[in-house]
Chains A and B, each alone.
Chain A
Amino acid sequence: MLVLSRKKDETLMIGDDIEITIIEIEDGKVKIGIEAPKTIKVNRKEIFDKIKDENNSSLQSTEKLKELKKFIK
């Protein structure tokens, strides 16, 4: 993991097109501004991980689909 320090209003560049700016620092919370192409998905990691986990679990589910039939009228 690359670790850099930034003060309020300072910016990081990721690649050529992604800018991360520290907008506000207060109460242990950092407000971060992100400029990125619309094709780049930006998400809080805990949400990303949960979505990814459900996708992964769904892959394991494909074999069980035929067993589900007894639950459906």
Chain B
Amino acid sequence: MIIETEVLGNIEYQSEDIITFEDGLYGFGGMKEFIIIQYPFEGLPFHYLQSIEDNRLSFVITSPFLFVDNYEFNIDDEVLKSMEIEKPEDMDIYSIAVIPDDLEKTTVNLRGPVIININKKLAKQYIVEEDYPYKYQIFSKGKTEVVEV
């Protein structure tokens, strides 16, 4: 299958790549099916969370653990159950990233991470109770190196 994206052109994907958000993302509840497009430039740990239902809907995501120490939060048992998550290894966690004109001020939303059950391809944007910031600046002064994964 092919999705025509605005930023990366035509992207081919398989049905196994489709991740289903039962509730969609906050503000975009109607769109439930996405794929993750790994960013084509090496060493840049950002990706696109691309809707396959609306090709204009493409969110920038990254792994918060690359930029934040001790990022930990509780997930409600009911949420874990509805996502069929049994152990931490079942999950991938991403943050929605915002890149403003001043690139140094790029932020990630630590309060509303995207949780993905890797095996079942189920996902949810989850609002954590812990008082993490919505806009966490990942490039603080003097910190322009990122560990390559």
Q: Tell me the A residues contacting B by CB distance below 8 Å.
A: 38-39, 41, 43, 47-48, 50-73
Contacts and interface: CB of A to CB of B under 8 A. Distances in A.
B27 to A, nearest CB: 3
B43 A62 contact: no
**Chain B interface mostly:** loop
Interface string B104-128: 1011010110000000000001010
B48 A62 contact: yes
Q: Which 9 A-B pairs have the closest CB atoms?
A: A52-B27, A61-B99, A51-B112, A64-B99, A54-B109, A57-B98, A51-B26, A58-B59, A61-B60
A38 B78 contact: yes
**Chain A interface mostly:** helix
Given A52-B27, A58-B60, A72 B134 contact: no
B139 A71 contact: yes
A65 B97 CA distance: 10
A39 B46 contact: no
Interface of B: 6-7, 22-23, 25-28, 39, 41, 43-46, 48, 56-61, 78, 82, 96-101, 103-104, 106-107, 109, 111-112, 125, 127, 134-135, 139, 144-146
Contact of A54 (B82, B96, B144): B96
B41 A69 contact: yes
8 contacts: A53-B134, A55-B109, A57-B100, A63-B7, A64-B101, A64-B103, A65-B44, A71-B104
Contacts of B27: 51-52, 55-56
A68 B22 CA distance: 31
